[in-house]
Amino acid sequence: MHYRLLIIVISLTFLSGQSLFNRFVGTDPFIGSARATAMGNTHLLNSTGSTNIRFNPSNLVRMNSRGGINLQINRSSVFERWSMPMKDFFGDFLTSGDYVTNEFSYYGINSGVFASLMLPMVGKVGAGFHYAPLTHFTYQYSEEVRGEYDTEDGEYASKDPFVGYQNLSIDGNSMVISLGGGIQLNMLQENNLSIGMALNIVQSTKVTDEVSVDTLYSDVTNLSTLPDMNSTTKIPTTNFINCSSTLNLTSHVELGVSWEQEAKTTTTQYSWSIDSTSGLFQYFEDSSYVTRGMNYVKPAIFSMALSYISNLENIISIDFELDRVSYNNHLNLKDYNQYKFGFEYLTQHGTPIRGGLVYRTASIRSMKPVSMFTFGSGKSIGKLVIDAAGTYCLQAFSYPDLFPVESEVRTDYDLVRDSQFHLQLALTYRF
C-alpha cells in the first residue's frame, strides 16, 4: 500500500522548472536537508544537522545530540522539449510537434559539522560549519537541424537528413560557506526561546557560455547564421547574513521566523535583454549573443513557520511555512510568495513517511504560478541517520525560437515543456 501511494505522489508532482533562465536568475539546487525537502521544503523548522546554519541557526541548540557530521548528495536531471505549432492547409492549429529534446544533469554535495554544549551562567549554545551550492547557472541546448531534400535530389540517401547542429552550453555554479551559531535564552524558560545568526560567504567562481553552429552541408538555408562564441565570466565573491528565532508556544506547537539578506554578484561589465513581446529573458538578439558578464542577485527572504507535533509519541508532525522572496525590481523580477505545507508520519516500525505541498507565485512576470508536491523517508541505524527525498518538476511556457534563422519568420512562439527530477540522499552521524 505504501509503495502504491508513493507512485501516485510521484505521478502528481509539479514544480517550477524554467531551466532556460538559469543563466539569469540561477536555480534552486535543493541544498536544504533531505528531511525538510520531503516535507514540502519546510526548511525553517525541519532542517537537520548543519543545514540549520543556513536556514535556522537558532535550531542548533534544539537538536537531540551534542553534535555530528553530515554529508548529502544531490542530483537534478532536466528533460526539456521544444515544440512548434502544426497547422492545416487553412492555417488552423492542429497540434504541437516536438523538434528538440534535451537532457542534462547537475550534481551537488552538501557537508558540514555542528555541535552544542551547556555553558555556566549562559545556557545552551550551538555552532557549526556548512558547505553547499548556493545556486547554479547550468543549461544545455542541442538542436539537430534537418534539411528538406528528397531522395530524388540525388544528394542524400534519405529524406530529412541531418544538415547541422545548433548548440548552447552554459556551465557554472556558486558555492557558499556558512558559519553560524545559536543560543538558548533563559528569559522564557518554559517557552524555550532560542536565537541564532550566520555569516554566508559566497565563493568566487566562473561561468562559461558557449555557442556553436555546426554546418554539415553548405547548401542549406535553415541553419542559424549566428557566429560561434566562447566566453568565461569570473564571478566575484560576496557574502550575506541570516538570522532566526525559534519559540515553543506550547508543548506541541513551535514558531519560527528568519530573515536572509540579499546578496549581489555583479561583474564590472554585463548585458542582458528581455523580449518586448514575451517579457522573458533572451539570449540572442538579431545576429549576436546578448548575454555578457554576470548580474545575479540572490533575493532577500523572510520566512515564518508553525509546527505541530502530536502527543502520541510524536507520531505525526504537521508544518506550515510562508516565504516572502524579494528582488527589489532586479532584472524586472517580481517579489513572490511561497506557501508550504509538510507532514511526517511515523509508522509502528518507526519509519517516517513524509510529504508536502508548495504553492509558489511567479517571479518572472510572464510566467504562471506553480504547485509542488514532495515526498521522502528515512532510517536510523544507531547513531547514523539516513534520509532520502525526491521531487518531480514540470512547467510549460511559450518562447521564441532560440536560434533564429535569417530567412525564416515565425508568427507563433514555440511551446517549451521543462521537467525535472531531483533526488537527495543524506547521511548524518550524531555524536
Angle value at C-alpha 23, between 17 and 27, nearest 5 degrees: 40
Average of per-residue pLDDT across 237-241:
95
Whole-angstrom Cα distance, residue 223 to residue 213? 8
C-alpha cell at 7: 507512485
Higher pLDDT, 34 or 146: 34
Whole-angstrom Cα distance, residue 362 to residue 340? 15
Q: Is the pLDDT of residue 2 over 80?
A: no
* Lowest-pLDDT range of 214-218, 348-352, 381-385: 214-218
Buried b (16+ CB within 10 A) or exposed e, 103-131: ebebebebbbbbbbeeeeeeebbbbbbbb
Whole-angstrom Cα distance, residue 152 to residue 337? 59
Higher pLDDT, 19 or 149: 19
Instruction: Report pLDDT digits (tens) over 315-337.
Output: 899 999 999 999 988 888 889 99
Q: If you write DSSP's letter for every residue of 78-120 in order, what string do you get? A: EEEEEEEEEE-TTS-EEEEEEEEEEEEEEEEEEEEEEEEEEET
Q: For the whole model, what pTM was predicted?
A: 0.87
Higher pLDDT, 38 or 160: 38
The pLDDT value recorded for residue 7 is 35
pLDDT band at 10 (very low <50, low <70, confident <90, very high): very low
Instruction: Report pLDDT digits (tens) over 164-214.
Output: 889 999 999 899 999 999 999 876 666 689 999 999 999 999 999 999 988
Q: What's the chain's average pLDDT?
A: 85
The pLDDT value recorded for residue 428 is 95
Sign of CA dihedral 41, 47, 50, 52: positive
Going by C-beta distance under 8 Å and a sequence separation of 6 or more, which residues neighbour residue 96? 83, 84, 85, 86, 415
Query: Nearest CA to 379 among 348, 347, 343, 351?
Result: 351
Residue 40, CB-side half-sphere exposure with 13 Å CA sphere: 26
Contact 15, 395 (CB under 8 A): yes
Q: Is the pLDDT of residue 115 over 90?
A: yes
Contact 49, 77 (CB under 8 A): no
Contact 35, 426 (CB under 8 A): yes
Complete domains list, the chain, with CATH: 2-134+175-203+242-395+416-430 (2.40.160.60)
- Residue 13: phi and psi, rounded to 5, are -80, 130
> DSSP state, 351?
-
Whole-angstrom Cα distance, residue 27 to residue 34? 17
